[in-house]
Amino acid sequence: MDSKIKSYVEKFKQSKHKERLLIVACIFGVVLILLSEIKLPATASKKSAQTDYQQYISTLEDKTESIISSIDGVGKCKVMITLQETDENFYAQNLDENKNSGYISKKSEYVLYEDNNNDSPVLIKQSFPKVMGVAVVCQGGNNANVKEKIISAVSSLFGISTAKISVSKLNR
């Protein structure tokens, strides 16, 4: 191993292009340093976000089932909820605007805080996805009065039109 290194050093000393090689080596070193500073997003956080989304839907469905099953005549029920989109987060930003000879340049940076030795953006607002439709399957789903009560309750809970709510009888 030492002999290989020594042979490379000797070749470098005898080379006519020492300056070029040094410049290339310096550039390569700078690139390595810059690449080491880049923080790649962790796949765990993507999985966590997906898990949070699924958990949000599951919680909505469980709470809705609980409310609906407490209505007189409903009996056992199952609920499925579809959402329009995923949740959306709004983060704090520092905006800098410069006006020079008719040109406007804008620069924005996220405001960060340190959390467990990691920089995290400051969350201003989080909007949850809107409910697009609800399907309810229950034992009393064939009774018109029960169906009307369920549709009214779900419409009130989620602020959606009654056309986006389906109620059916549960098979035994």
**pLDDT, averaged in runs of 10, over the chain (172 residues):** 72 70 74 70 53 84 94 93 81 80 78 79 81 93 93 93 93 78
Distance between CA atoms of 146 and 42, rounded to whole angstroms?
A: 48
Structure tokens at 82: 């579809």
Helices (H), 15-124: 18-37, 43-69
List, in sequence order, every residue forming a beta bridge with 90; answer none if it has no partner. Answer: 125
Tokens 């997003």 belong to which residue? 41
Q: Three-class SS string for 75-100?
A: CCEEEEEEECCCCEEEECEEEEEEEE
Q: What pTM did the predictor assign?
A: 0.56
Rg (CA), the chain: 31
Confidence (pLDDT) at 107:
79
Confidence (pLDDT) at 123:
81
